[in-house]
């Protein structure tokens, strides 16, 4: 039985056209019957609502035990900014945030990071949208380690797709834990989405495709 909070989040994503069903290709090249595109959040109320879900998860898992939050370009940028704002107003957890440019700035102060400048031993949390094959996190870590000798223990995402990464028997989340020692916390998982559709009873065609996809790519 899904919790009320998970049902609310799934319905929120669907209402914003962020969680979609059909035929899509992920960043890792896999054909998938569902797709999560946080780039479709486009109103102030939507990003404010999304930030509430993220900050609640952060409060429940790490509380104030971190120094700053990092949002990888591009989708992580509004996520980190909005979450930082909500943590401050909702829980009085006022922490700095920062993000990276895809291309390093060659004028002014230069550099590829915007916002907070991390220092050695900072405990940084990462705010991202989803993890599919772990490609984005492998691009992110060199950026952080190139800035300072930071510690990264936790990452927060909207959806854990529970998919295999570079190894056929481990999910990308498991690999991230093994490679970088990072615990990935998700608001919901693909299993939650599947259970939601099953409870609704009106997504028969999608359910079949999801079952095939999960059997092929997912590890639970």
Residue among 27, 42, 105, 216 flagged as catalytic: 105
The question of whether 105 is a catalytic residue gets the answer yes
The question of whether 185 is a catalytic residue gets the answer no
Mapped onto helix, strand or coil, the DSSP state of residue 157 is strand
Lookup: tokens for 147: 């800035």
First-to-last C-alpha distance (Å) of the chain: 17
Return the HEC string of the chain: CCCHHHHHHHHHHHHCCCEEEEEEECCCCCEEEEEECHHHCCCHHHHHHHHHHHHHHHHHHCCCCCCEEEECCCCHHHHHHHHHHHHHHHHCCCCCEEEEEEEEECCCCCEEEEECCCCCCCEEEEECCEECCCHHHHHHHHHHHHHCCCEEEEEEEEEECCEECCCCCCEHHHHHHHHHCCEEEEEEEHHHHHHHHHHHCCCHHHHHHHHHHHHHHECC
How far is it, in rounded angstroms, from Cα 126 to Cα 96? 12
Catalytic residues: 105, 107
């Amino acid at each position: 039985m899904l919790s009320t909070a998970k049902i609310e989040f799934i319905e929120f994503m669907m209402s914003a056209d962020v969680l979609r069903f059909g035929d899509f290709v992920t960043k890792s090249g896999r054909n998938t019957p569902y797709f999560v595109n946080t780039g479709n959040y486009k109103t102030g109320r939507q990003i404010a609502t999304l930030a509430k879900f993220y900050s609640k998860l952060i409060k429940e898992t790490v509380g104030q035990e971190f120094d700053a939050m990092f949002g990888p370009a591009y989708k992580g940028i509004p996520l980190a900014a909005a979450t930082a704002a909500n943590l401050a107003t909702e829980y009085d957890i006022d922490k700095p945030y920062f993000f990276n440019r895809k291309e390093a700035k060659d004028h002014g102060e230069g550099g590829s990071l915007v916002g907070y400048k991390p220092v050695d031993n900072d405990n940084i949390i990462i705010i991202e949208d989803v993890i599919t094959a772990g490609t984005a996190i492998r691009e992110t870590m060199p950026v952080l380690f190139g800035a300072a000798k930071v510690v990264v223990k936790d990452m927060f995402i909207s959806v854990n797709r529970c998919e295999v990464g570079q190894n056929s028997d481990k999910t990308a989340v498991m690999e991230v834990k093994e490679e970088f020692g990072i615990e990935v916390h998700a608001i919901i998982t693909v299993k939650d989405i599947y259970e939601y559709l099953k409870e609704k009873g009106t997504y028969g065609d999608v359910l079949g495709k999801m079952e095939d996809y999960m059997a092929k790519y997912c590890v639970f």
